[in-house]
Amino acid sequence: MSLAETDPVIADLIAKETVRQQDTLEMIASENHASHEVMEAQGSILTNKYAEGYPGKRYYSGCGFYDEIEQIAIDRACQLFGCKYANVQPHSGANANFAVQLALFNPGDTFAAIELSNGGHLTHGSAVNVSGKWLKPVTYRLVEDESRSDWGYIDFDSVEAVMKEHRPKVLMCGYSAYPRTIDFAKFRAIADKYDALLWADIAHVAGLIAGGAHPNAFPHCQIVTTTTHKTLRGPRGGLILTDDEELSKRFNKAVFPGSQGGPLMHVIAAKAVAFGEGLKPEFKTYSAQVVANAKRLAKELIDRGYKLASRGTDNHLILIDLRPVDAELTGKTAAVWLEQVGIIANMNTVPNETRSPFQTSGIRMGTPALTTRGLKENDIAQIAGIIDRTFRSKGDQTTLAKCKQDVLAICQKFPMKHA
C-alpha cells in the first residue's frame, strides 16, 4: 500500500510541501535541493538496521553491507576534501562540532571563535548552546571601520589580540554568514604562533571547496567539520575530517559512544552518493556557477542602492543591510514580504547591528538552490529586480501580488528536477 492510502494526512502535507518548493525560489544560503539519487538512498531499506560501532567493529550482527557503504562514504569524503581520515556518522553539523569539543576540551577550557553577531554559529560559543555553557569562548570580530577597504572582512588584528591575551587551546574559523574567502593559511600562522590547534567549520563553503570554487581547508587546518547539505547538496548530516591519526581516534570515540548511538545508515548511504556526485566534473561547473550567481546578485543589489556586508561576496551568500534603503524595514518584515512573493530567505544580523536578533536589520540570501535549478546570471538579475520591488513595496499587496506572478513564471521556467 502507498503512504497516501495508509496515512493520507502526512502524504497530503508532503505533496503540499513538494508544490511549495516547486513554486518558490529557495534563497536561504544554507539550503539546497538534493538529487533524486541522494533521496532514494536516504529513503531506502537501510533505515531498518542498527550498526553501532565502525566498519569491521560493530556491536550488532548483519552489518556486512553497511560496513561497505560506510567505508565508501569515508573514502569518498577523504578524496573529495584531500584528507586522510573522516567520520561520516554525525547526524548534523552541530553533532559534529559537539563531538570535536567533547574530544578536545574539558569543561571550562578556552577556545577562540568569531562573535555570533559577526557571522558565527550557535555551536561556536553561543551562551544558549552547550559550547557556551560548558566551555569558555573568547571572540574576535570583523573590521568595523567603514572607511577601510576591508570593512566587513575578518579583522586579523582582533584575532591576534584574542589569541595573545587568552592563549586558547583551539582557534576556530569558518562561518554561517560570512561572504568572503577564508584565509586558512593566515589563520594557521596565528594558531601556530600561540600553540593552538586550528579548526575550520566549513559547513557553508564545503561544496565550493569540493568544486574548487573556494580554497581548501587542508593542509592548513588540523580539524575540519561540515554539514553535508548546503553547498555540498547532500542529505542533512555532519562530517568530521582530519589528517591526524590520533585526533581521528579521539573524534571517533567522541561520536560513538561519546555523543551518539546507532548511526543513521540510510543517511550515510545518501552521503556516499552525494560525495560521489561531488567528485564528478560537473560539480565543479555547478560550484563556479553558484559563486558567479552570488556575485551578480550582489552587484545588482548594490547598483540599486543596497548596502552589503563587506560590500559584496566571494562565495555563495550575501548579507543585505536594509537600513540605507528603508530605515524602518526590519529583516523580519522583509522576510515575510519575500515569502509572500515566493522568495524564501532569512532575517539576519548585519555589521553594526542596532536591532535584536528577533528583528534584525538584514537579510541573508544565497544562490546554491537557484543554481541547482539551472538559473544563471541574467536570471539572477531578474530576481534582484523582484527583490528590490518587494522591499520598496511598503507591503502594498498589489505590488506583492505582481511580484509573486513574476516569481512563479521563473519557477515554471526552471522546474525542480528532482521533486
Could you report the per-residue pLDDT of 145-179, keeping only the tens digit for each? 999 999 999 999 999 999 999 999 999 999 999 99
Q: How far apart are CA 343 and CA 116, in angstroms?
A: 25
pLDDT of 360 above 80: yes
Among residues 218, 269, 240, the alpha carbon closest in space to that of 85 is found at 240
Helical pair 184-193 and 156-166, crossing angle rounded to 10 deg: 20
Q: How far apart are CA 385 and CA 324, in angstroms?
A: 17
Per residue in 265-289, pLDDT (tens digit) is: 999 999 999 999 999 999 999 999 9
Question: Residue 417: its pLDDT value, please?
Answer: 81
pTM for the whole structure: 0.96
Question: Residue 352: its pLDDT value, please?
Answer: 85
Q: Is 137 helix (H, G, I), strand (E, B) or coil?
A: strand
Among residues 77, 87, 137, the alpha carbon closest in space to that of 112 is found at 137
Catalytic residue of the set 58, 180, 233, 236: 236
Domain extents for the chain?
Answer: 3-30+284-413, 41-278
The CATH fold of domain 41-278: Aspartate Aminotransferase; domain 2 (3.40.640)
pLDDT of 50 above 70: yes
Per residue in 210-266, pLDDT (tens digit) is: 999 999 999 999 999 999 999 999 999 999 999 999 999 999 999 999 999 999 999
| Helix H or strand E segment including 412 | helix 397-413
Among residues 61, 89, 95, the alpha carbon closest in space to that of 262 is found at 89
Per residue in 368-390, pLDDT (tens digit) is: 999 999 999 999 999 999 999 99
Catalytic residue of the set 31, 37, 52, 115: 52
Catalytic residue at 50?
yes
Per-residue pLDDT band at 419 (split at 50, 70, 90) = low
* Pairwise pLDDT comparison (10 vs 119), residue with the higher score: 10
**358 secondary structure, DSSP code:** T
Question: Residue 103: its pLDDT value, please?
Answer: 98
Minimum mean pLDDT range among 32-41, 123-132, 185-194, 198-207:
123-132
Question: Residue 160: its pLDDT value, please?
Answer: 98
The residues, ordered by sequence, that sit 6+ positions from 329 with a Cβ below 8 Å of its Cβ are 322, 323, 391
| Helix H or strand E segment including 345 | none
As a whole number of Å, the CA-based R_g of the chain is 22
The residues, ordered by sequence, that sit 6+ positions from 307 with a Cβ below 8 Å of its Cβ are 320, 321, 323, 324
pLDDT of 418 above 90: no
Sort residue 239 into left (φ over 0), alpha (ψ -120 to 50) or beta: beta
Catalytic residue of the set 227, 228, 231, 313: 227
Question: Residue 30: its pLDDT value, please?
Answer: 97
Catalytic residue of the set 37, 50, 186, 406: 50
pLDDT of 60 above 90: yes
Catalytic residue at 236?
yes
CATH number of 3-30+284-413: 3.90.1150.10
Question: Residue 385: its pLDDT value, please?
Answer: 98
Catalogue the long-range contacts made by 360-363 (C-beta closer than 8 Å, 24 or more residues apart): 360/330, 360/331, 360/332, 361/321, 361/322, 361/323, 361/330, 361/331, 362/309, 362/319, 362/320, 362/321, 362/322, 362/331, 363/319, 363/320, 363/322, 363/331, 363/334, 363/335, 363/338
Q: Contact, 370 vs 26, CB < 8 A?
A: yes
Question: Residue 384: its pLDDT value, please?
Answer: 98
Q: Contact, 380 vs 293, CB < 8 A?
A: yes
Beta bridge partners of 347: 363
Q: Contact, 370 vs 383, CB < 8 A?
A: yes
Phi first, then psi: what are they for 290, rounded to 5°?
-55, -45
Mean pLDDT of all residues in 398-411 = 98
Catalytic residue at 230?
yes
Per-residue pLDDT band at 126 (split at 50, 70, 90) = very high
Catalytic residue of the set 230, 296, 364, 373: 230
Per-residue pLDDT band at 351 (split at 50, 70, 90) = confident
Per residue in 70-99, pLDDT (tens digit) is: 999 999 999 999 999 999 999 999 999 999
Percent of the chain's residues with pLDDT above 70: 100
Catalytic residue of the set 26, 70, 155, 201: 201
Catalytic residue at 364?
no
Q: Which amino acid is at 329?
A: L
Q: Contact, 298 vs 312, CB < 8 A?
A: yes
| Residue linked to cell 523582484 | 386
Q: What share of the chain is helix, strand, coil (3-state, %, to 5)?
A: 45, 15, 40
pLDDT of 51 above 90: yes
Q: Contact, 190 vs 112, CB < 8 A?
A: no
